Amino acid sequence: PYNKKNITKKPSIIKKIDKVFSDSSKFIPYMDETKYLNIDNNLKQKLKNFDYVVYPHSFTDAQLIYGYDGFVNSFEWLDFTLHELSKKNKKVLIKSHPNFYLKSHDIFRWDRKIFKTIIKKYSQKKSFLFIQKPIKNYDFKNLIKKNSIIITRYGTAELEMSFYNFKTISSWNSFFSNRYKISNKWKNREQYKILL
């Protein structure tokens, strides 16, 4: 099983992993068109205050390809997550998927449209901030609080942010094997609610 203590003894491995995460578009085929933007100083200041960071997923992907985890699609999962977090006295940052802003395919246009419905629904929540531009996790990780909790359903953020020592919550049903103990996992809504 994954254990960061084991790999920290091997600087060459750490260096290679860090290189992959520094420019993931070279290593993740579906990210190769993404044009990441710089983070302005105003946003940098705001990012320091959040307790939770939520990573939405494409709403038009194969939603149940990894099995059922209590949610039939990514919209339902994201809406449930934000509804539950809105009950807490915590600040929540929602980092949009970088591909939401690609122009090359209708899928991304639908993703943007669906994401805007979520933004509209929660726009009155003063403790929520939606980031609506593509930002690399590699840069992002240095701007948020080190004790921020990262929430993803099944994204690569689970690996990236765990590697950089953030606590993560993710679905049991994902493309990462569950024998790697890198995240707090849920199998159903009840478990997820408790983890949140």
Q: Which residues contact 77 (CB under 8 A, 6 or more apart)?
A: 57, 69, 71, 153
pLDDT, tens digit (0-9, with 9 covering 90-100), for 162-187: 888 999 999 998 877 777 788 999 99
pLDDT, tens digit (0-9, with 9 covering 90-100), for 81-133: 999 999 998 999 999 888 887 777 788 889 999 999 999 999 999 999 999 88
User: DSSP letters along 41-73, please?
Assistant: HHHHHHHTT-SEEEE---SSS-TTTT--SS-SS
pLDDT, tens digit (0-9, with 9 covering 90-100), for 65-84: 888 999 999 999 999 999 99
Q: For residues 11 and 80, what is the distance between their CA atoms, to the nearest angstrom?
A: 40
pLDDT, tens digit (0-9, with 9 covering 90-100), for 8-55: 556 676 676 666 666 655 555 555 566 666 777 887 888 888 999 999
Percent of the chain past pLDDT 90, that is, above it, reads 43
3-state secondary structure of 195: helix
- Which among 188, 150, 144 has a CA at the least distance from the CA of 54? 150
Supply the DSSP symbol for 102.
-
pTM beyond cutoff 0.85: no
Q: For residues 115 and 190, what is the distance between their CA atoms, to the nearest angstrom?
A: 25
Q: Phi and psi at residue 4, in whole multiples of 5°?
A: -60, -30
Would you say 96 and 44 are in contact if contact means Cβ atoms under 8 Å apart?
no
Q: For residues 101 and 92, what is the distance between their CA atoms, to the nearest angstrom?
A: 21
3-state secondary structure of 189: helix
